[in-house]
Structure 1
């Protein structure tokens, strides 16, 4: 009796209801994450994802209803199939929009696939009329067009969506799992007349992998967005160096710890004249070139930032690195590799000096370099 109960629980209607109820829980969790993103980001991709997840919720709720009823009409089967296909289409549209700005041509493509889905769905009603066979054979053939259409959508998703999004590994895994589940479903229905219990069990359990990966996909997207927001709050948009506020906070942190640090202050010579004669675009290019040189030279020894305008600063955190030597390497590379030169000053932390004074000392040293000939390094 106990064995029969366990068997029914796993492979019977109760097992099916349990499996799909658990899938609904995962879908709802993913829905809540997407909804939260929609409220904070107001991006159309999250709206599409919410629609897709709602359709998936309806799909699995309908499967539970079907399991309880144990018999459904052709209309109910058609609606279930249409929901399944539309959910897959909307899910891939949402995933694409999470990583891409939606242009007019994208809307045309999306509309095309939705209309194509609607057209293919008509095969459910008209295909059996073209074929001769028993009532059971007609019943089996009705959903075939829509089932095969899902394989086409899987192939197109690999081809069109995969190369245009991030997290390709997770996306490929999702499509592979979906393909496996759908293949098992097709094999069970069309080869074994839905009588292979093991295949039915796999068809119910493998989707767990799909929805867990989908949840992780969206959750990681949340992390990516949060990281991007954080990075934009501490970095300069043009040069990608740390901004003034973040740099000052880091200097304060090291000074409070009385770490043996130095600050290098640099200013591009004749930058206003460059902007006036060659335009701001050239000025921006030079800023990015100088910033890249500063970043490369200080990668392993300090923290670099854009202090304002054409001023760039370095906090030398490695006690074995000589601030004068590092300043000279930056100055000589800028002179050799760009169309400008830089004046540089540096200051080493001494007892009783706070973060603001340390930066000011380096700035004063840079000013002396600027007023005594430019394109040189001066220590405080």
Structure 2
């Protein structure tokens, strides 16, 4: 039974905090694995469950005064396994995993199991307690090797490198406090003991934010891919139509510019589809640069690119002419453009159709020109 409040409430408070943080992470990663079946979420879920079990076991061993001998040995071994699996999960959140990657990480655990054999062959001489401490020293030092190895190898391969480096630094600080307390103060230095308990809480908190931020990144990427064209990186037709309808419902003064690359089929036939794709990207880039602060750009289909002009101070004819001229000067293609401005009673579909008709007129009356829709 603990008599000192620091020794009593320190581990219990830290364990309670860890319980909340780890439970939240297990729920998040487990849910993500259930819905997406990604290996990284499975590794994170398994390692977090193991981390939670280790935390509860350690609290029990500490409370019962058994955090030594076989219990201390098991504590170190669980710490190594959990640490390696957590890092495997972090790596998998950002990278595809091949069989060799599993061999690398599981190999680190296998090395730990090999080193742990020293526990059963303590050195002769000295007291039994000293012999037991020295027998576990190789495994304790191996944890430092793992920290530096993971920090060196994994950091360049993931996002959120600052968070990951902070985690490795905290783990190093925790292990240092543990070894100094154990080997220099025989585990009796209370403030070092509290550092052993509370540094992992900060470590787990940063891990939580790393996992949470990664989920946000993936959600943003999924949403972005659902509204943009993969080749040109401008908005797709569905999203463009939606935005036009939103502005029309609000009765705002907007215009739609409709463009078509001239002789695009001939370009594909003579220079190949790669050149056609390159011209599409260049034209889209020019349109995005010109309309960046005054509207949005979309790909309507094939070689057709459109602009929703939302700034009433920008004249659609002048914007269209600037775009047409830049494309002619900076690329090997030209564009025919048409535009139409919203009038009360028009629907979004009708406004786009009018701009398309104006573009068609430009196409059939000489190409490489800008035409305004007229009823």
Moved more, 366-375 or 20-29: 20-29
1:65 aligns to what? Answer: 60
Separation in structure 2 between the aligned mates of residue 117 and residue 339 of structure 1, nearest angstrom: 62
2:28 aligns to what? Answer: 33
Q: How much does 1:14 deviate?
A: 4.7
- SS of 2:259 mapped into structure 1: strand
Q: How much does 1:64 deviate?
A: 1.8
Provide the TM-score with structure 1 as the length reference: 0.93
Separation in structure 2 between the aligned mates of residue 104 and residue 282 of structure 1, nearest angstrom: 38
Separation in structure 1 between the aligned mates of residue 92 and residue 76 of structure 2, nearest angstrom: 25
The answer on whether the counterparts of 2:262 and 2:367 sit within 8 Å (CA) in structure 1 is yes
**Structure 1 residue 225 corresponds to structure 2 residue 221:** no
Which of residues 16, 22, 26 in structure 1 aligns to 2:17? 22
Residue pairs, 1:302-313, within 5 angstroms: 302-313=295-306
- SS of 2:242 mapped into structure 1: helix
1:369 aligns to what? Answer: 362
The answer on whether the counterparts of 2:58 and 2:67 sit within 8 Å (CA) in structure 1 is no
Residue pairs, 1:68-147, within 5 angstroms: 68-71=63-66, 74-126=69-121, 128-129=122-123, 132-147=125-140
Which of residues 357, 361, 379 in structure 1 aligns to 2:350? 357
Separation in structure 2 between the aligned mates of residue 109 and residue 330 of structure 1, nearest angstrom: 53
**Structure 1 residue 297 corresponds to structure 2 residue 293:** no
Q: How much does 1:188 deviate?
A: 1.0
Q: How much does 1:73 deviate?
A: 6.2
Separation in structure 2 between the aligned mates of residue 53 and residue 68 of structure 1, nearest angstrom: 22
Q: How much does 1:211 deviate?
A: 0.9
Aligned residue pairs, count:
372
- Residues 1-50 of structure 1: CA deviation (Å, up to 9, x unaligned): xxxx9x734x2245423322331221111111000111121111111111
The answer on whether the counterparts of 2:177 and 2:196 sit within 8 Å (CA) in structure 1 is yes
Residue pairs, 1:200-219, within 5 angstroms: 200-219=193-212
The answer on whether the counterparts of 1:17 and 1:67 sit within 8 Å (CA) in structure 2 is no
Which of residues 307, 329, 347 in structure 1 aligns to 2:340? 347
Separation in structure 2 between the aligned mates of residue 132 and residue 357 of structure 1, nearest angstrom: 93
1:47 aligns to what? Answer: 42
Distance 1:122 1:280, change over 3 A: farther
Aligned CA-pair RMSD: 1.8
- Residues 288-325 of structure 1: CA deviation (Å, up to 9, x unaligned): 12111111111111011111111110011111111111
The answer on whether the counterparts of 1:20 and 1:63 sit within 8 Å (CA) in structure 2 is no
2:268 aligns to what? Answer: 275
- Residues 60-108 of structure 1: CA deviation (Å, up to 9, x unaligned): 1111220232125633322221110010001011000000111243233
Separation in structure 2 between the aligned mates of residue 106 and residue 284 of structure 1, nearest angstrom: 36
Which of residues 4, 7, 13 in structure 2 aligns to 1:8? 4
Separation in structure 1 between the aligned mates of residue 116 and residue 287 of structure 2, nearest angstrom: 60
Misfit runs of 4+, over 3 Å: none
Separation in structure 1 between the aligned mates of residue 281 and residue 117 of structure 2, nearest angstrom: 57
The answer on whether the counterparts of 1:45 and 1:97 sit within 8 Å (CA) in structure 2 is yes
Provide the TM-score with structure 2 as the length reference: 0.94
Moved more, 156-165 or 66-75: 66-75
The answer on whether the counterparts of 2:80 and 2:109 sit within 8 Å (CA) in structure 1 is no
- SS of 1:102 mapped into structure 2: coil
- SS of 1:142 mapped into structure 2: helix
1:336 aligns to what? Answer: 329
